[in-house]
Each structure stands twice: as C-alpha cells, then as structure tokens.
Amino acid sequence: MSSLNLDDFTDLIERPDGGTRRDAEERRARFAVPPGALGRLDELGEWLSAAQGAVPVRPVARPRVVLFAGDHGVAGLDVSKRAAGSAAGLVRDVVEGASAGAVLARRLGVGVRVVDLSLDCEPDELPKSVDDRRVRRGSGRIDIEDALTLEEAEAAFRAGMAVADEEADSGTDLVVLGDISVGGTTAAATLIAALCGTDASVVTGRGGDPIDDLAWMRKCAAVRDALRRARPVLGDQLQLLATVGGADLAAATGFLLQCAVRRTPVLLDGVVSAACALVGQRVAFRAPDWWLAAHASGEPAQAKALDRMAMDVLLDQDVRVGGGAGALLALPLVQAAASLAAELPETTEPAKEDD
C-alpha cells in the first residue's frame, strides 16, 4: 500500500488567477495594436499574467529544460530503431551539447537538467552533471510484467515532486519538460490508450527515428498486450504508472503535478510528457491549466492525449527528435508574448479593429 495520497493534489492545485487574467484582458483592450491582431500571442500573454498573478506580465527570464531519463524493458522487443538499454548514450549527447535539444538550449541561453530515474547502465558511466534519482536499473517489460513495484513508482513520483520544488525554489519561472528514453513512447502510447479507452492501433506511432512496418506491428502488439494489463488498474493512477508506465514517466507525472502546486508554468514536449499530463489530469482536473502543449510531434498518441485535455499546440513543425527540442522552439514564442503584453503602449481610447 502506498503512503502517497494523490487525492491531496485536487485540494492543493488552484487555477491560474482569473481576476488577474481579466485585468490583463482589460489592459490589452487599451493597446494601440487592435484586439485580435496578435492572434494567439494575446492569449499566451494573458495566460502568463494569470500564472504569475501579475499585470503587466513579467518577462520569462529564467526558463529551464528538465529531462527525465530512463530505459524501458519493452524496447527489447525491437519496437525502436535504438537498441534496448541505450538511453545512456542519448544522455551523454545532451550533456555534451551534441543533441538537437542541447543545441537549441545553448542558442537560447537555457540551462538543461537531466535526471536519471531508470537508465540501464552503471551510475559511474554517466556524466557527473546528471542528477541521480534512480529508483531501479531499467523499467520492466510492460507487455508481460509490471514496469515498477508500487514502492518504486512512489519513489519515482516523489523524486519528480522534489525536482519541481527545487526548480521553483531556485527561481525557475517556466519549465520545458521532455524525456530521454528508449521504449518510452511505447509506454506512453499504452497510458494514453488506457485513459482514452481506445485501441492500440489508434495510438501506436513510429517514433522519432521512424520504424518500418514490421517494427510498428511489434510495437502495436506490445501496446495491445500492455493495455490488457492496464485496464484493471485504471482507477489508481499510481498503480497504473507502476503497471505500464516506468520510473521516468512516474517522475514526470509527479513533477507536473507539483509544478501546478507551486504555480510554475510548463511547456510539454512530445508524447511522453503528454501521457504524463493526461495521468496528471486524472489526478487533479485543474492541473492542466498550468501546462501548454508546445508542439505537435506527429505521434498519434500525443494528438489523442492533447485532444482529451482540450489543448492546442503552439507550433507544428513536424519535429520528432525528442529531448525537449520541439518545446524549445516554442519558448521564444512564449517569451515574445510576454514582451508584447508588457511593453506595447496603451492608448487613451480603446483600440478599434481594422475594417
């Protein structure tokens, strides 16, 4: 039996401040730039005002990339082009600045935090900068066994919560949430199929490095078998993460919920963060108000999850590489919305729309 009561999040999480948002909307109506002329940038600026509880909105000055890393036993079924247990190499690429996400983070001046929850390697094989929160070495093969014990799921969930607290305490004002995993999209697709009540074939995608038809059929079969194991535990979100999720997904879910508690806005990257957000929504229905879907990854499961949460993506550039890269592309858009909302001059009369 877990000592973690997820129902507490329902009471702890409040929506971004509605009164502040109305004040931001009223201020926007006095801009010289006509209402509607800036499209979704207006909505983004008002959302940030509500999240910050401030009018005018403050600049997004201290964003941070947080990547939860882990290996998944289901990758041993050859459901990915990457070898099972090889996520440590992806971690080294990020830390050494060789991944797409690392290049973008460096260009934007954003720090990157990599957190090891279940990488399948010896800890001393990883760069020293990797945050060690490991609960086990590799998650179980979800088509035939649980990814984690309930105790491991709780430990991973609490680790994610602790990371969220540390980021909030350090002054991080917006998080770009991503993952580094091999086999993670299979676990994510299973979670989304289970929570949306759909079949494996509807949510199974081909991954960032697209797999061929045979690999896709293996992946679809793995999701189907894992889905059978997921359905009996749908009423218990922590048990669901233990059964068909993984340590990195459990940590990301705890992280997302605690970010909402701490009023820290989050940009969601791809299908893995979307799956964790969907689990988080089941835990606390107000929590998604603190998260934005940064981009469309092309994974059908991500689209299904975002539709269920009524989230529209900010960008659609067909970026599939993962590791926070797609979400980082959306970060300047959010920062631009904050600058426009804060710095555009007001007029003495309400702005009129163009004829």
Helices 237-244 and 184-196, axial angle in degrees (round to 10): 140
Q: Do residues 203 and 282 share a domain?
A: yes
Mean pLDDT of all residues in 201-208: 91
Q: Do residues 256 and 295 share a domain?
A: yes
Query: What's this model's pTM, rounded to 2 decimal places?
Result: 0.96
CA neighbours closer than 13 Å in the CB half-sphere of residue 85: 10
Looking at the domain assignment, is residue 33 inside a domain? Answer: yes
What percent of the chain is predicted at pLDDT more than 70? 97
Q: Do residues 220 and 139 share a domain?
A: yes
In sequence order, the 6+-apart residues with CB closer than 8 A to the CB of 301 are 185, 188, 189, 192, 193, 203, 204, 205, 271, 274, 275
Determine the pLDDT at residue 349. Answer: 58
Domain interval for residue 94: 63-335
Q: Do residues 54 and 92 share a domain?
A: no
Rounded distance between C-alpha atoms, residue 232 and residue 240, angstroms: 9
Rounded distance between C-alpha atoms, residue 113 and residue 189, angstroms: 25
Mean pLDDT of all residues in 319-347: 95
pLDDT per residue as tens digits for the range 224-239 = 999 999 999 999 999 9
Q: Do residues 50 and 104 share a domain?
A: no
Q: Which residue has the higher pLDDT, 15 or 36?
A: 15
Rounded distance between C-alpha atoms, residue 208 and residue 203, angstroms: 15
Burial class (CB in 10 A: 0-12, 13-18, 19+), 160: buried
pLDDT per residue as tens digits for the range 122-177 = 999 999 999 999 999 999 999 999 999 999 999 999 999 999 999 999 999 999 99
Strands of the sheet with 266-268, listed across from one edge: 131-132, 111-118, 63-71, 174-182, 266-268, 291-293
pLDDT(222) > 60: yes
Looking at the domain assignment, is residue 127 inside a domain? Answer: yes
Q: Do residues 50 and 151 share a domain?
A: no
Rounded distance between C-alpha atoms, residue 204 and residue 222, angstroms: 10
Q: Which residue has the higher pLDDT, 168 or 2?
A: 168
